[in-house]
Amino acid sequence: MSFLFQNYNRASIEFVKAEGNYLMDSEGRAYLDFSSGIGVTNLGFHPQVQAALLRQAEQIWHSPNLYLSSLQEKVAEELVAGYDYLAFFCNSGAEANEAAIKLARKASGKQGIISFQQSFHGRTFGAMAATGQEKIKIGFGDGLSHFSYAIYNDLASVKALVNSDTAAVMLELVQGESGVLPADEQFVQDLADFCRQNKILLVVDEVQTGMGRTGKLYSFEHYDIVPDIVTLAKGLANGVPVGAMLGKKELASAFNYGSHGSTFGGNRLAMAAALETLRQLKTPDFMEEVQEKSRLLVGELQTALQGNPRVLAIRGLGLMIGIETSSNLSVLVEKAREKGLIVLTAGTNVIRLLPPLTLSEEEIQRGVGTLKEVFEEVD
Ligand SMILES: *Cc1c(COP(=O)(O)O)cnc(C)c1O
């Protein structure tokens, strides 16, 4: 008997301990984590993040946004380094996107938000309105108006939706939940040019792709663009609930005193964990190593799965990797788990890998070996 709403499909094991890139269940079995808890514990269960949390818990773990927070300042300074951004802290990806939608509307004085079919931006009303998937909205009544959905990687479809009320275009640079689909480079650059020329704000949802996941701190750095607004969450504090919105300084007057807020936003435990996470991500050569691990992991996967008729494609960016398959996803996930490997799914036909950025060569070999066995055993 459960006292919880049954809005998740939970596997019947519980992780009770974690160390590095391994999870331990209540029976004492160890699992190599190729999911990072859905792209959250990007550094694995890192001893220095743990130490930062414990140190902060000994000092003070909450202080309202009525008082100064040098920790928020430090995290913001690290996040915006090299850019003309200011930061706002909240508690989740959906909240970060809510803030982005509100800022875009208030700063532009317009209401229209164009996002993309098959996108995912979260479960609150604003974030859900931006999400281009009907199944997420069923049963929740009238959604927000002035949202429309272009075709991913198709600039003409964006132009066709633009009108005098268009405030912003919002997108993921790798669509995560719907199947690990990276945006085309030319499309993104043309879209950024088009938005700039037409004074439409460009919002990039980096909730999943940010914080080094793709081999750069932000995935937009691969595309040689600078969005007007960026949203972050998942990996930002390596497992402590947090969200952030970064926006260009020129938008600052729209988010003036009293316009928006969050009681928990920028919580001390979250900020202590985020600061240490950023320190780790910014150690010299860290991102180059992530890119190297990505090349190794993708190369090994290609070799191991080559010729397997159930594997249709391997794609991704950095350590955000999708294996498109004709086989049953839940069978694949369960088989991998029985063999001690945790993987995710995306869309209807993709096994999604979001391994910790700290994964070792030995862990790459082990994970790939397991996936090879799994794909050989399924129909
Ligand atoms: C996970 C995700 C969200 C939602 O984040 P929550 O913290 O669950 O609200 C939004 N956008 C993208 C791209 C995501 O992957």
Question: Could you report the per-residue pLDDT of 31-63, keeping only the tens digit for each?
Answer: 999 999 999 999 999 999 999 999 999 999 999
Question: Could you report the per-residue pLDDT of 222-272, keeping only the tens digit for each?
Answer: 999 999 999 999 999 999 999 999 999 999 999 999 999 999 999 999 999
Distance 172 CA to ligand 1 centre (A): 10
Last residue of a domain, one of 233, 263, 282: 282
Question: Could you report the per-residue pLDDT of 318-350, keeping only the tens digit for each?
Answer: 999 999 999 999 999 999 999 999 999 999 999
206 annotated to a ligand binding site: yes
pLDDT for the residue numbered 1: 87
Q: Is 317 found in the same domain as 241?
A: no
Give the domain range for residue 21: 15-46+285-377
Minimum-distance ligand 1 atom for the alpha carbon of 206: 13
Asked if 289 and 301 touch (Cβ cutoff 8 Å), the reply is no
Average pLDDT over residues 280-284: 98
In angstroms, rounded to a whole number, what is the distance separating the alpha carbons of residues 15 and 31?
9
313 annotated to a ligand binding site: no
List the residue whose alpha carbon is closest to atom 6 of ligand 1: 93
pLDDT for the residue numbered 142: 96
Distance 19 CA to ligand 1 centre (A): 25
Q: Is 120 found in the same domain as 219?
A: yes
pLDDT for the residue numbered 379: 84
Last residue of a domain, one of 282, 301, 326: 282
Question: Could you report the per-residue pLDDT of 60-76, keeping only the tens digit for each?
Answer: 999 999 999 999 999 99
Question: Could you report the per-residue pLDDT of 165-206, keeping only the tens digit for each?
Answer: 999 999 999 999 999 999 999 999 999 999 999 999 999 999
Distance 280 CA to ligand 1 centre (A): 23
Q: Is 296 found in the same domain as 276?
A: no
Q: Is 62 found in the same domain as 78?
A: yes
Q: Is the model's pLDDT at 317 over the cut of 90?
A: yes
